Structure 1
Amino acid sequence: MSRGVATKRGRRPITLGLRANAAQFTILVAINALVGGMVGQQQTVLPLLAEDEFGLTGYTFMFTYVIAFGVTKATANYFAGAWSDRFGRKPVLIAGWLFAVPVPLMLIWAPEWGWVVAANVLLGVNQGLTWSTTVIMKIDLVGPKQRGLAMGLNEAAGYGAVAITSMAAGYLAAEFGLRPAPFLLGLTYTALALGLSTLAVRETRGHAEAEASGHVPRADGRHDHLHGELSNREVFAQTSFREPALSSASQAGLVNNLNFGLSWGLFPLLFASSGLPVGQIGVLFALYPAMWGIGQLFTGALSDRWGRKYLIVTGMSTQAAALAVIASAESFELWAAGTMLLGAGTAMVYPTLLAVVGDVAHPAWRGRAVGIYRVWRDLGYAVGALMGGVVADLWSLRTAVWVAAAVSVVSAVVVAVRMYETHHRPAEMTPESADHG
């Protein structure tokens, strides 16, 4: 399905739609898989490295690398959105991969924990610039009809790669030690991604301009006051606080990644405390993003058919139930069920929240809106790691998981009360217009 636009940029006609832009879309999916793999190379390994090689015992201190990653990635998301609207998408994508080059080497050679934290600062910049830009570019390419499907494919690739690489890193760590084998994956991913971004990716900002020229307002008049260019301050205010759907998506994204950040730093320690070997911990950690990644192949497209709000509320509630299972479990089998359920809930939420932002944000300021939404969402890494570390130090690892479950319930209620349905058909295709046609 595609949508032709009577616009040209240079000599190349611009057409919106997944089929019309299949080659570029596929390249961007592959690049986003490599982005996810950069995170997966370390998720299973670093908590164990902190204890075994650096002798760290305080949970809050061990989670400093997650906090550094989350804060840096959130900040980089903002600049990715602003710069992609101002300078274009492709330069931001390439710059993001340049920041990744030192990361695996720093993790391999780190003589002290400060090197690991510094590597995660650079990784946060890499993730913020590259992941945000691939999201924006895919939204540019597909147009308004298939945003959910596009975001499902994008996030499935990224988190599927997290799962595969987490499992591969766990296997390499078990067979060859915690360093350097798992981090050689990151070196390979960076080289491939830089080559693809530089040689194969084309600029997509022209697609956003083409969509803006043919933008169709909602039949109910909502968003009329948001048409056209907004200042950076206005985009931040609308996305963070004022616009009900955008601000609801921002808080739900934060809580979703709060759960991810907490799981990143805490789950391996919880599983290890019951005597599970590294190999089984790697499997458990891979099940979460595997379900997350596979599920998004379906949930993104379903949100194009069913709407966004229902999936988001159901997904946040499912995450709360999954965390309750994980907090109370004592065996590998129950933990496996809990992590798979957590992945399923996250799959309902993750691409759908991005589709909400694409639905509401005007093409003229969409890049900045995506960046700001991802600022709030990825601050969840830091909030989850800090909250999990503090609660685990004061009480226990299991208590920290119960607290995250309660926060997820509150988030679901906020979306149910405040968010409206954002997915709509063009005015000429509404039931009302059909009835009067």
Structure 2
Amino acid sequence: MRSRTTPRPVLGLRENAAQFSLLVAVNALVGGMVGQQQTVLPLLADGEFGLTGYTFIFTYVAAFGITKAIANYFAGTFSDRYGRKPVLLVGWLFAVPVPLMLILAPNWGWVVAANVLLGINQGLTWSTTVVMKIDLVGPAKRGLAMGLNEAAGYGAVAVSSLLAGYLAQQYGLRPAPFLLGLAYTALALMLSGVFVRETRDYARLEAAGHAPRSDGLHDHLHAGLTNRQIALETSLTEPALATASHAGLVNNLNFGLSWGLFPLLFATADLSPSRIGLLFALYPAVWGAGQLVTGALSDRIGRKRLITAGMTLQAAALAVIAASAGFAGWALGAVLLGAGTAMVYPTLLAVVGDVAHPVWRGRAVGIYRVWRDSGYAVGAIFGGIVADLMGMHAAVWAAAVVTAAAAVLVAVRMYETHPAPSRVQAPSAASADRTG
């Protein structure tokens, strides 16, 4: 009598289309948890809690960014040690109280506490879905995989921001917009618990067939690096990994600044909540949709050019927003900012996947995302201080200068990490048997 065995893993997007699509849907729900509050909370701070100091208002963004950054590290470490699916499930459990706390919050401290939990949720779930998708597709379609992942997440941010703005205008700032979050959490727990499968064996398969670069550039990045060595390479030493980490921080500095500042800036033109929601949604909408193109494009033309051009375009977009004082200029700036971010966001993740060894890829992704998502807090604090001292337009100008400097750093220090297409071959289970 034949025993039933689990099918051997095979790398590839087409080969794992069903599971990959499911993870795309889960990541859309992750993004939706952020979108439900982005339009509403700055208006809630001003309208219901009477907060006026920009630095104080931005505390919830800083709290979110700091906790998300820390959670990213543990997501990478635990997903390599215990598996991806348990980390994903635990992350969604942290989301359960968030909408209820925002609905019932009697003071701003509750909002900050809810964003601490949301940061943990985002760090654990988003990092894990990134690692799981990289596991499944192998090296050939890594850019496309990251483009699809980030498009789903930030497309959902845009849609939820728009829906929350509409619900706020029709039914008030509370509770209607935050009912979205309750629905997202329930659906995500069901999908993650019942249908998502563990993907760590796919990373082991890729590791078994892992071939070093012919130029010897990554010879020191072997499978046996310690956590401390991985952190050092990803943060400072390895040129591509470190530059990606620093560019990611600046990218999310802009997002953190926009999250806290843009709704307040747009409100100076006496726009309605729905118009503010539309303006805010343009940025992540273009960002999300653009990644469907840019992720795959980086598989064909390489990573460095897209990242350099994207950071430069972000700087130009921020200058347009800073120089504008009405809907048309802000809309143009938001579209350009989304386009620049779309060029950068999935490509930076693909760089990390290119360079990191499959055995410690989860930890490298986690450390990269620690740097990147620290940008939320840096952007909120930096933007709040500059806005308090010099005004909101000055804060956006300052972010434009920082972003331009990041583009120069990428151009000077990062090397091209994507191998020639002829060398990108997904290992089969048979090759794993020969090399494992």
Matches within 5 A, 1:106-125: 106-125=101-120
* Residue of structure 2 equivalent to 1:396: 391
Matched with 1:249 is: 244
Separation in structure 1 between the aligned mates of residue 273 and residue 72 of structure 2, nearest angstrom: 33
Distance 1:84 1:45 in 2: 33
Q: How many percent identity over aligned positions?
A: 74
Amino acid at match of 1:297: L
How many angstroms does 1:317 deviate by? 0.2
Whole-Å separation in 2 of the counterparts to 1:112 and 1:83: 34
RMSD: 1.2
Q: How many pairs align?
A: 422
Name the counterpart of 1:147.
142
Q: Would you say the 8 A contact 2:244–2:351 is kept in 1?
A: yes
CA contact (8 A) 1:151 1:300 kept: yes
Q: 2: distance between equivalents of 1:228 and 1:396?
A: 50
1:82 aligns with 2:87: no
Query: What displacement does 1:219 show?
Result: 1.4
Q: Which amino acid aligns with 2:385?
A: V
Contact 1:92 1:133 (C-alpha < 8 Å) held by counterparts? yes
Distance 2:404 2:326 in 1: 25
Contact 1:217–1:426 (CA<8 Å) still a contact in 2? no
Deviations 1:392-419 (A, max 9, x none): 0011000000000000000000000000
Q: Does 1:18 align with 2:13?
A: yes
Q: Report SS of the residue matched to 2:10.
A: strand
TM-score using structure 1 length = 0.95
What is the rounded CA distance, in whole Å, between the counterparts of 1:264 and 1:55 in structure 2? Answer: 18
* Aligned position for 1:422: 417
Among 197, 200, 206, the residue aligned to 1:202: 197
Question: For 1:177-233, what per-residue CA distance to the aligned partner results, in whole angstroms no more than 9, with x for missing partners?
Answer: 000000000000000000000000000000000000000111111101112121110
Matched, 1:290 2:285: yes
CA deviation string 1:368-398 (max 9, x = no partner): 0000000000000000000000000011000
CA 1:429 to 1:184, structure 2 compared with 1: closer, same or farther past 3 Å?
Answer: closer
Q: Which residue among 322, 325, 329 is the counterpart of 1:330?
A: 325
For 1:118 and 1:101, the matched residues in 2 are separated by 13
- Structure 2: distance between partners of 1:41 and 1:233: 37
**Larger deviation: 256-265 or 215-224?**
215-224
- Structure 1 residue 218 and structure 2 residue 218: aligned? no
The answer as to 2:31 corresponding to 1:36 is yes
Inter-CA distance 229–250: structure 2 relative to 1 (3 Å threshold): same
Is the alpha carbon distance of 1:391 and 1:18 closer, same or farther for their aligned partners in structure 2, counting shifts above 3 Å?
A: same
Structure 2 residue corresponding to 1:280, chosen from 254, 275, 281: 275
Alignment of 1:319 with 2:325, yes or no, is no
Question: Alpha carbons of 1:121 and 1:15: their partners in 2 closer, same or farther (altered >3 Å)?
Answer: same
SS of the equivalent of 1:16 reads coil
Find the aligned partners of 1:427 and 1:271 in 2 and give their Cα distance.
49
Name the CA distance, whole Å, in 2 between partners of 1:407 and 1:352: 20
Contact 1:319 1:345 in 2 (8 A): yes
Helix, strand or coil: the match of 2:212? coil
Show the counterpart of 2:434: none
Partner of 1:50: 45
Distance 1:36 1:427 in 2: 35
In structure 2, the residue matched to 1:181 is: 176
One-letter identity of the residue aligned with 1:66? V
State the distance in 2 between where 1:287 and 1:389 align: 22
The CA deviation at 1:429 is 7.7
Deviation at 1:425, TM superposition (A): 3.0
Q: Specify the alignment match of 2:301 in structure 1.
A: 306
SS in 2 for 1:347: helix
| Counterpart in the other structure of 2:65 | 70
- Alignment partner of 2:355 out of 360, 380, 392: 360
Taking the aligned partners of 1:387 and 1:176, their CA distance within structure 2 comes to 33
Equivalent residue, structure 1, for 2:265: 270
Of stretches 270-279 and 389-398 in structure 1, the one that deviates more from structure 2 is 270-279
1:126 corresponds to which residue?
121
Match of 1:383 in 2: 378
Cα shift at 1:331: 1.6
Match of 1:347 among 318, 342, 352: 342
Task: Provide the C-alpha distance between the structure 2 equivalents of 1:429 and 1:200, rounded to a whole number of angstroms.
Answer: 30
> Conserved in 1, the CA contact under 8 Å of 2:298 and 2:306?
yes
Structure 2 residue corresponding to 1:158, chosen from 153, 159, 162: 153
CA distance in 2, matches of 1:75, 1:338: 31
For 2:82, give the aligned amino acid: F
Partners of 2:326 and 2:250 in 1: CA distance: 26
Q: Which amino acid aligns with 2:129?
A: T
What's the offset of the Cα at 1:270?
Answer: 0.5
161 and 55 in structure 1: CA distance in 2 versus 1, 3 angstrom threshold: same
- Contact 2:139 / 2:424 at 8 angstroms: preserved in 1? no
Q: Deviations over 1:300-320 (max 9, x none)?
A: 000000000000000000000
Give how far 1:428 is off. 5.7
Shift of 1:11: 2.6
Contact persistence 2:88–2:128 (CA under 8 A): yes
Shift of 1:426: 7.1
Q: Does the 8 Å contact 2:36/2:164 carry over to 1?
A: yes
Output the CA distance in 1 between the equivalents of 2:303 and 2:421. 16
CA deviation digits over 1:54-112, x for unaligned, max 9?
00000000000000000000000000000000000000000000000000000000000
Q: CA deviation at 1:273?
A: 1.2
Paired amino acid for 2:295:
G
Measured at CA, do residues 329 and 426 of structure 1 come closer, stay the same or move farther in structure 2, by a change above 3 Å?
A: closer
The answer to whether the 8 A contact 2:140-2:421 is kept is: no
- Between the aligned partners of 1:363 and 1:429, the Cα distance in structure 2 is 14
Residues 219, 426 of structure 1: 8 Å contact kept: no
Contact 2:61 2:376 in 1 (8 A): yes
SS of equivalent to 1:13: coil
Deviation by residue 1:344-370 (Cα, 9 ceiling, x = unmatched): 000000000000000000001000000
Q: Where does residue 6 of structure 1 map in the other structure? A: none
Letter in 1 for 2:116: V
- For 1:266, the aligned partner's letter is L
How far apart, CA to CA, are the structure 2 residues paired with 1:366 and 1:11?
24
